[in-house]
Chain A
Amino acid sequence: MNAELMPYDEALERFDPALGLEVHVELNTASKMFCGCPTEFGAPPNTQTCPTCLGLPGSMPVVNRTAVESAMRIGLALNCEIAEWCRFARKNYFYPDMPKNFQTSQYDEPIAFNGWTDVVVEGPDGPQTVRVDIERAHMEEDTGKSLHVGGATGRIHGADYSLVDYNRAGIPLIEIVTKPILGTRELVPLVAKAYVAQLRDLLLGLGVSDVRMEQGSLRCDVNLSLAPRDVGSESDGAGRHALGTRTETKNVNSLRSVERAVRYEVQRHAAVLTSGRPILQETRHWHEDTGITTSGREKSDAEDYRYFPEPDLVPVAPDREWVERLRASLPEPPHERRARLQAAWGFTDLEMRDTVGAGALGLVEETIAAGASAQTARKWWLGELARRANETETDIAALGVTPADVARVQALVDEGAINDKLARQVFDGLVAGEGTPDEIIAARDLAIVSDEGALSAAVDEAIAANPDVADKIREGKVNAAGALIGAVMKQMRGQADAARVRELVLEKLT
């Protein structure tokens, strides 16, 4: 099953990677794209449908104005031009996730096109800005969810039948497509991850989507191809060559996986091409658990979808006054936002890059807004939670810890109710889904013992058990107190205020 891979560095010596990213974003409108059905995530199956999104005869779609506005705001935030006139189109295919046998989408007339966004990645010589050109952002509708029954893996192959839930069918979806990203060399996996992270922050800032990758409201397809480096005659003079055959890896649904999938495909393409075999133009599946891609179907040509203009929806022609009003109300661009936040928080360049790189910028910002100081917010997210996210191979935003939780934990530390060590146990509880910080402290009995009698007794016990140490302190060697404080903290299972224990030790011995 595991394909042969070329070592990453060797692959880069021989080939130039070209990257393209397609990101699907579910908008957070109250109702669907073409009908008034609700869009709540996790509702019981088939409780959010109507004749239109079930594709029943005689039903007629009508476009959701807010969805169009969100699409334009996304386009403007990505420095796109907004179409003066564009149509929807039917993308025809037979698959039961769309009961109409077509998906309403846009074809050659996207609402937004020709944009760009700059991302920053950590290069060998420090931070490096890479411009990602945006080909288009178009409006479409999401599909239903299929559950494959029978077979071993829940996938299509080997399934006996499928069960379909149409709650998701018709939820507004924006597909954002980059132009080929060239010349990023060994940074290509980082550029892919940084772009998706930036898109996530940008969409959050616009407030147009929940952008919960783990719930599928932001989904990423990775297009990758390699071109050999040593074909001077085909170079365009800037060291770039004709693009190689690409593969499209579908549903890469975490930031970490985006980076891994790009790296994997670079190594796989390099091994295949070096062995003299061709790369097949195909879709591939990403397997989160094993970190590999496997072959899917051969990619359909666009003409196989027999696109044609949707006759049931009239064209969208946003007047320029509307577009300019939306442009004027855009939130600040990501790079300006980063500069402003860094100044406000007093972070060093390195602290800021780590925060952005961990995908924690918005989380830190919200934690500060919830009352924590900048440095404590950074300490918990970058020092504690980023490590856990790495260890469990989870996105930091999907750990199950919210900015409000972190602010509450820090407030409890500030009040002296818990200390940092106990705070880590509270985070254990939050990750395990045991409730709010206060509930976890109560259930796990984590509060600091403020009973002076119990503390004093524990200090006496420690002094009695360590007479040599006690003598040293009596002789004025105050530094030796650490050993006694440690013994007391151990005795109290960490649930004591170390500063108060120190005071007690010194009171009793000096």
Chain B
Amino acid sequence: MPDSPAPGPSISRDELAHLATLARIDLSDAELDHLAPQLSVILESVASISGVADDDIPPTSHALPLTNVFRADVVVPGLTVEEALSGAPEQEEQRFKVPRILGDEQ
């Protein structure tokens, strides 16, 4: 959590470093120093929207007032194995071949 006393949202250098790790983006110390204040400015600009919305306006996640858009549980043909694997940089045993994974299964 940020310690910054400044009002409005901001992002600390540590938070940025953590986010970069989660996003698998390798940032140097210089880049962290450079980007953290910039991201804070962006967050503050976006946050100014909440000054316009009153308490009785819920956050919007969808632009259209639609609900319950469903499909029937029916099988439709998908891709052939060849098509499915055509975009794979590497394949083996009819599977997508990916680099060794560091860390753990979800």
Cα–Cα distance between A85 and B61 once the two chains are bound (Å): 13
State whether A31 and B73 are in contact (beta carbons under 8 Å apart), knowing that A49-B78, A51-B79, A162-B101 are contacts in the complex: yes
- With a cutoff of 8 Å between Cβ atoms, the chain B residues found around residue A143 in the complex are 106
Contact call B78/A46, Cβ cutoff below 8 A: no
Contact of B76 with A by CB under 8 A: yes
Total A-B residue contacts, Cβ distance less than 8 Å: 146
What is the distance, in angstroms, from B51's C-beta to the closest C-beta of chain A? Answer: 21
Contact call A161/B97, Cβ cutoff below 8 A: yes
Contact call A314/B62, Cβ cutoff below 8 A: yes
Give the segment of B27-35, B38-46, B64-72 that binds chain A. Answer: B64-72
A interface residue numbers (CB < 8 A to B): 29-31, 35-38, 44-51, 53-54, 56, 62-68, 85, 87, 92-99, 103, 143, 146-150, 156, 159-166, 250, 283, 296-297, 304, 306, 309, 311, 313-318
Question: 1/0 contact trace for B17-29 toward A, CB 8 Å?
Answer: 0000011100000
Number of B residues contacting the other chain (C-beta, 8 Å)? Answer: 38
User: Which 10 residue pairs spanning A and B have beta carbons closest together?
Assistant: A36-B76, A50-B78, A66-B73, A65-B70, A163-B95, A309-B61, A297-B104, A317-B67, A164-B96, A45-B94
What is the distance, in angstroms, from B105's C-beta to the closest C-beta of chain A? Answer: 7
User: CB < 8 Å: which of B67, B73, B105 contacts A315?
Assistant: B67
B interface residue numbers (CB < 8 A to A): 22-24, 61-62, 64, 66-79, 81, 84-85, 87, 92-101, 103-106
- With a cutoff of 8 Å between Cβ atoms, the chain A residues found around residue B101 in the complex are 95-96, 146, 148, 156, 159, 162
State whether A31 and B106 are in contact (beta carbons under 8 Å apart), knowing that A44-B81, A162-B98, A166-B84 are contacts in the complex: no
- With a cutoff of 8 Å between Cβ atoms, the chain B residues found around residue A161 in the complex are 97-100
Contact call B73/A46, Cβ cutoff below 8 A: no
Residue of B whose beta carbon sits closest to that of A283: B104
Cα–Cα distance between A246 and B104 once the two chains are bound (Å): 19
Contact call A30/B106, Cβ cutoff below 8 A: no
- The prevalent SS among residues of A at the interface is loop
- With a cutoff of 8 Å between Cβ atoms, the chain B residues found around residue A87 in the complex are 61
- With a cutoff of 8 Å between Cβ atoms, the chain A residues found around residue B99 in the complex are 161-162
Cα–Cα distance between A163 and B93 once the two chains are bound (Å): 8
Contact call A46/B71, Cβ cutoff below 8 A: no
14 contacts between A and B (CB under 8 A): A36-B71, A44-B81, A51-B79, A92-B22, A98-B106, A143-B106, A147-B95, A150-B100, A159-B100, A159-B101, A162-B99, A162-B101, A309-B62, A317-B67
- With a cutoff of 8 Å between Cβ atoms, the chain B residues found around residue A93 in the complex are 106
